Chains A and B, each alone.
Chain A
């Protein structure tokens, strides 16, 4: 028998062929898995593409200066005005109200759970917060319009049926779980030795929490606040239901006003032809929204780098 004859080595060659097949299979699978991971990048590219391309059409009709400085937002009127600040004001006011509720409440809950509560209470409290965070925003909108507004009207009889105030308050409640759980994680990551150092000096729990744990976990707290801002700015349904949808340039939370997001909903509910200027406004509004959230995200990254945990 000659060793040069391939058929003399069936086992080895079979195995090699098999291995080669295996290799090809592995490559194909890896490529598929990579494609799945790339979907998230495609999503981002898609978002940027859609917002920018439609906005370009929009800005061919409306100058950026007018967009930023006009004090009226009446895109569907004959005398159309496109002052985005009108919508931005509603977004800013409602977000501020929400943050005034969510930041203190979320931080207090986080400090309480991380520094005071025992394991048992934490086991009960965390699911409650998760359930609160899981309530659909439309249900929160119902809550704001039909429960919180009437309640507020008992104290402020002149409060209109739609207001940034009641929508903002409920948005605040909605955001509490995000701040509480992220901040608590950050504080629990602070090493015990720092706390012991403080207790050994005769500090109380609260003093230790506020003067050692909070500063040590600051970057985590900042991250949770930034996420809260993104949530507040991007929240839609609570505002669409409870804040009214007429554009109103105001800094007064007790007035009704449209926000960037509720304007988009309002237009989408109607039947605007694809490609019309009215259709393009929602992409310009969306672009503004994403730029605002992006700004806060960059600020968040910067804060995190600036105050990286150094314990």
Chain B
């Protein structure tokens, strides 16, 4: 371990609890997210990893009866993302998200990528053209779609759709990008392309990724968090978690004795 490798903090969960109505889905989570790093969330189904991820951009606010306790601090400005006086829309403008199933809007490829910019009131054609191209290049899909930007996005293949959704999220220069099992609906080749992309993207943006697939976590992430029944069991550098996990439960999960 090198001494000079002390990453800066991008976000930090502090004693985070979350409730779906009466049911407590997250229990006292404390965890750092490091800047320009990929952090993977792993754990069995129902362990709360998606719930945790969706707390970062306040997606739970869309449905009645959900409640947060504790804080998610966001740096450098040290804002508590969960504070009641912080507007969820403002949070979502800073944090991008890519979903489990590709969800392109029923619009052209171009308009899909321009969506977030238009939401931000950007209507200048030149700026939009520039940013759309940049985002599509960033999502490694530009060469495939540059000649058919006006075609309907839902006509693309699943893998292309997912990269388009990544481009859509990238276009607004988010500070943090949330991936909710982004490859679970894709074939192995498309999955490989997305993983490569994640690796490329961490130069520009902090990434938090939920995955079912431990190999994927090992391949793409710098840090890994293992969650179980709403609790954070273990957090550390990916190499360390996978090579010598501290907790017995992590070890069981990773070695496939449980899952």
Which one of A118, A193, A202 lies within 8 Å of B101 (CB-CB)? A193
Known: A211-B115, A310-B154. A197 touches B92 (CB 8 A): no
9 CB < 8 A contacts A-B: A197-B97, A197-B105, A200-B59, A201-B92, A202-B89, A202-B172, A212-B105, A212-B106, A311-B103
Is B246 an interface residue, CB under 8 A from the partner?
no
Query: How many residues on the A side are at the interface (Cβ–Cβ under 8 A)?
Result: 23
- Docked Cα-Cα span, A287 to B62, in Å, equals 52
For chain B, residues 59 to 73, give those with C-beta under 8 angstroms from any C-beta of chain A. Answer: 59, 62, 64
Known A191-B103, A197-B168, A218-B106; 10 more pairs at CB < 8 Å: A194-B106, A199-B62, A199-B92, A200-B57, A200-B96, A200-B97, A200-B169, A202-B90, A202-B93, A215-B106
Is B152 an interface residue, CB under 8 A from the partner?
yes
For chain A, residues 133 to 158, give those with C-beta under 8 angstroms from any C-beta of chain B. Answer: none
Task: Collect the chain B residues with CB atoms within 8 Å of residue A118's CB.
Answer: 64
For chain B, residues 148 to 201, give those with C-beta under 8 angstroms from any C-beta of chain A. Answer: 152, 154-155, 165, 168-169, 172
Task: Collect the chain A residues with CB atoms within 8 Å of residue B101's CB.
Answer: 193
Is A203 an interface residue, CB under 8 A from the partner?
yes
- Docked Cα-Cα span, A200 to B58, in Å, equals 9
Q: Are the CB atoms of B154 and A311 closer together than 8 Å?
A: yes
Task: Collect the chain B residues with CB atoms within 8 Å of residue A201's CB.
Answer: 92-93, 96, 115-116, 119, 168-169, 172
Give A264 Cβ to nearest chain B Cβ, in Å.
42
Q: Are the CB atoms of B99 and A196 closer together than 8 Å?
A: yes
Annotate B94-136 by CB proximity to A: 1 below 8 A, 0 otherwise.
0011010101111100000001101110000000000000000
For chain A, residues 284 to 308, give those with C-beta under 8 angstroms from any C-beta of chain B. Answer: none
Interface residue range, chain B? 20 to 34
Give B70 Cβ to nearest chain A Cβ, in Å.
22
Is A204 an interface residue, CB under 8 A from the partner?
yes
Annotate A175-196 by CB proximity to B: 1 below 8 A, 0 otherwise.
0000000000000000101111
Annotate A198-218 by CB proximity to B: 1 below 8 A, 0 otherwise.
111111100100011001101
Task: Collect the chain A residues with CB atoms within 8 Å of residue B152's CB.
Answer: 310
Known: A215-B106, A310-B154, A310-B155. A204 touches B89 (CB 8 A): yes
Closest to A204 in B: B89
Which are the 7 A-B pairs with shortest beta-carbon distances? A202-B93, A200-B97, A310-B154, A201-B116, A202-B92, A197-B103, A193-B103
On B, residues with C-beta under 8 Å from A are 57, 59, 62, 64, 89-90, 92-93, 96-97, 99, 101, 103-107, 115-116, 118-120, 152, 154-155, 165, 168-169, 172
Known: A196-B62, A203-B119. A215 touches B107 (CB 8 A): yes
Q: Are the CB atoms of B120 and A202 closer together than 8 Å?
A: yes
On A, residues with C-beta under 8 Å from B are 118, 191, 193-204, 207, 211-212, 215-216, 218, 309-311
Q: Are the CB atoms of B106 and A196 closer together than 8 Å?
A: no
- Docked Cα-Cα span, A197 to B220, in Å, equals 24
Task: Collect the chain A residues with CB atoms within 8 Å of residue B154's CB.
Answer: 310-311
Task: Collect the chain A residues with CB atoms within 8 Å of residue B90's CB.
Answer: 202
Give A188 Cβ to nearest chain B Cβ, in Å.
15
Task: Collect the chain B residues with CB atoms within 8 Å of residue A204's CB.
Answer: 89
- Docked Cα-Cα span, A211 to B106, in Å, equals 9
Task: Collect the chain B residues with CB atoms within 8 Å of residue A310's CB.
Answer: 106, 152, 154-155
Give A205 Cβ to nearest chain B Cβ, in Å.
9
- Docked Cα-Cα span, A200 to B97, in Å, equals 6
- Docked Cα-Cα span, A200 to B166, in Å, equals 12
Q: Are the CB atoms of B59 and A199 closer together than 8 Å?
A: yes
Closest to B90 in A: A202
Interface centre among A195, A200, A212, A311 (most CB of B within 10 A): A200
Q: Are the CB atoms of B155 and A194 closer together than 8 Å?
A: no
Task: Collect the chain B residues with CB atoms within 8 Å of residue A194's CB.
Answer: 103, 105-106
Closest to B63 in A: A192
Task: Collect the chain A residues with CB atoms within 8 Å of residue B57's CB.
Answer: 200
Q: Are the CB atoms of B89 and A211 closer together than 8 Å?
A: no
